[in-house]
């Protein structure tokens, strides 16, 4: 694991926590109810955003 992340006290999410957070992300902010839709696009978008963030962090380290 990257020591930078460890120093900030963060840790990998458990599967249960990841599912809970994804559920919060998919709630309709107006009603508080779960949004019924295909979440595969959301997961793909989140994955791409995380890859970009990790790449930018690596570039900033050097």
Q: Looking at the 3D structure of the chain, how many domains does it have? A: 1
Rounded-to-integer distance, Cα 54 and Cα 59, Å: 9
* 34 SS3 class: strand
Query: Which residues have a Cβ under 8 Å from the Cβ of 33 and sit 6 or more positions away?
Result: 27
Residue 4: predicted pLDDT: 54
Q: What is the pLDDT of residues 13-61, one digit of tens each?
A: 788 888 777 777 777 778 877 776 666 777 777 888 888 888 887 777 6
Q: How far is CA 32 from the centre of its chain?
A: 20
Q: Tell me the residue range of the domain where 34 lies.
A: 3-61
Name residue, tokens 């930018």: 56
Residue 54: predicted pLDDT: 82
Rounded-to-integer distance, Cα 22 and Cα 35, Å: 11
């Amino acid at each position: 694991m990257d020591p930078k992340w460890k120093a900030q006290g963060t840790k990998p999410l458990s599967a249960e926590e990841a599912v809970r957070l994804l559920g919060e992300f998919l709630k309709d902010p107006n009603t508080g109810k779960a949004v019924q839709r295909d979440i595969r696009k959301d997961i793909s978008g989140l994955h791409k955003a995380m890859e970009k963030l990790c790449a930018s962090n690596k570039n900033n380290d050097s």
